[in-house]
């Protein structure tokens, strides 16, 4: 079976380090392993509109920022097709047919959507588009027959919903669609990176993010102002490392090499955690260490970003080419889907022959 990778992001702002550890890092690993037949990254503008209907400018303004984020971290457009969702009209058509295969109660049970509804204050009146976005996500995935989906853990219910739609479709109309499998980060703390404020998820919509495009100063202000252990009042007090986002970020980003470079009193994170839990290590010191590590990580990304900001025409062409390529494939799948559903009348005159029989 072909190996098709597809994943994407909503253009609701710039990408953050939660995206990096949750999904972008795996995309880079997969890209560099090169063991695939096709690789797509989708900028999900239509999905972003499902909870931003009155703010199309925010979506439009984020398109190039997200594309530049991809390129700056090392996504290589000669290996990966980057495309814009709304430009592929077949995705909307597929969604319309898949909606018949899903019940309202099934959509209401989706735990990620449930949480997002609460967060956005949609309990009283949910936009239909928002409730059904997992179905449109199934269209995005199946249009390319993608079977490898590198995502953060909040996306698991969407992948499950897609598998259900694929099974239902294939059972009802014949084997056309392919079931996807998620690829989660190796390191469990990266499944869902918490926000700067200690919130369970770093998310553009919550404004608690370290962006891949943050400057040295922005990063410093954010890290030094981070939520830590509220019980660790004095340096000598014992500290807690669990549910302490500073330590979660260290879990996600620090390696033994960083200790040699920036914190030679300790050999590794386990040693530092033990010392912090024992008491005697101030939060400022830990935050400064985290800042050094993150700044070192972001520095080359910032450099690359500068290049692409000065070569916007290149970015524009990459998006155009990726979108044209994706469009051709989606057309092919839609034709197969419609044939399976017997929604093809004018390819030949078979409809007339059937009527005469």
Footprint on this chain of ligand ATP (rule: CB under 6 A): 9-10, 12, 18-19, 22-23, 151-152, 154-155, 192-193, 201-205
110 close to 156: Cβ distance less than 8 angstroms: no
Joined tokens for residue 163: 């598998």
Q: Please, which residue, 10 or 222, has the CB nearer to ligand ATP? A: 10
CB of 218 to ligand ATP, least distance (A): 17
Q: Shortest distance, CB of residue 182 to ligand ATP, whole angstroms?
A: 9
Which residue, among 143, 166, 161, 175, has the nearest Cα to 44 in the 3D structure? Answer: 143
CA proximity to 88, closest of 143, 137, 135, 31: 143
1 or 242, CB closer to ligand ATP? 242
Task: Identify which of residues 154 and 258 has a Cβ nearer to ligand ATP in the complex.
Answer: 154
Residues in CB range of 65: below 8 A, 6 or more apart: 11, 13, 14, 213
How near is the Cβ of 112 to ligand ATP at its closest, in Å? 9
Tokens 């219910």 correspond to 157
Q: Which is nearer to ligand ATP, 44 or 143 (CB)?
A: 44
| Residue 274: CB atoms within 10 Å | 11
Pair 226, 43: CB distance under 8 Å: no
Q: Select 43 or 337, whichever has its Cβ closest to ligand ATP.
A: 43
Report whether 144 contacts 6 (CB < 8 A): yes
DSSP string of 116-136? Answer: HHHHTT-SS---HHHHTHHHH
Select 19 or 145, whichever has its Cβ closest to ligand ATP.
19
User: For residues 317 and 323, what is the distance between their CA atoms, to the nearest angstrom?
Assistant: 10
In the complex, least distance from residue 130 CB atom to ligand ATP, rounded to whole angstroms: 11
Least distance to ligand ATP from the beta carbon of 9, Å? Answer: 4
Nearest residue (beta carbon) to ligand ATP: 22
Beta strand ranges found along 181-340 (DSSP E): 181-183
The nearer residue to ligand ATP, 24 or 337, going by C-beta atoms, is 24
Q: Work out how close the CB of 93 gets to ligand ATP at its nearest, in angstroms, rounded to a whole number.
A: 23
Strand ranges in the chain using DSSP code E only, listed in sequence order: 4-9, 38-43, 81-84, 148-150, 181-183
Residue 101 CB, nearest approach to ligand ATP (Å)? 24
């Amino acid at each position: 079976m072909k190996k098709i990778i597809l994943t994407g992001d909503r253009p609701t702002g710039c990408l953050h380090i939660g995206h990096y550890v949750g999904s972008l890092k795996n995309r880079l690993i997969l890209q560099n392993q090169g063991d695939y037949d096709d690789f797509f990254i989708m900028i999900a503008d239509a999905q972003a509109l499902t909870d931003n209907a009155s703010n199309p400018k925010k979506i439009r303004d984020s398109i190039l920022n997200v594309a530049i984020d991809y390129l700056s971290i090392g996504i290589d457009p000669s290996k990966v097709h980057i495309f814009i969702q709304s430009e592929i009209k077949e995705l909307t058509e597929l969604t319309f047919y898949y909606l018949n295969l899903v019940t309202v109660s099934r959509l209401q049970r989706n735990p990620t959507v449930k949480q997002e509804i609460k967060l956005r204050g949609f309990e009283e009146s949910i936009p239909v588009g928002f409730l059904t976005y997992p179905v449109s996500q199934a269209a995005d995935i199946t249009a390319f027959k993608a079977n490898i989906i590198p995502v953060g853990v909040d996306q698991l219910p969407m992948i499950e919903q897609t598998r259900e739609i694929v099974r239902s479709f294939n059972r009802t109309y014949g084997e056309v669609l392919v079931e996807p499998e998620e690829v989660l980060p190796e390191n469990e703390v990266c499944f869902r990176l918490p926000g700067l404020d200690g919130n369970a998820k770093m998310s553009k919509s919550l404004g608690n993010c370290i962006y891949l495009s943050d400057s040295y100063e922005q990063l410093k202000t954010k890290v030094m102002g981070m939520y830590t252990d509220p019980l660790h009042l004095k340096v000598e007090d014992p500290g807690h490392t669990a549910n302490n986002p500073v330590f979660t970020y260290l879990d996600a980003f620090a390696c033994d090499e960083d200790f040699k470079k920036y914190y030679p009193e300790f050999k590794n994170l386990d040693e530092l955690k033990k010392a912090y839990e024992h008491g005697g290590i101030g939060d400022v010191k830990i935050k400064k260490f985290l800042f050094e590590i993150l700044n070192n990580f972001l520095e080359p990304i910032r450099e690359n970003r500068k290049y692409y900001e000065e070569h916007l025409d290149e970015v524009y062409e990459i998006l155009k080419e990726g979108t044209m390529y994706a469009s051709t494939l989606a057309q092919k799948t839609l034709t197969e889907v419609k044939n399976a559903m017997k929604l093809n009348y004018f390819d030949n005159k078979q409809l007339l022959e059937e009527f005469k029989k």
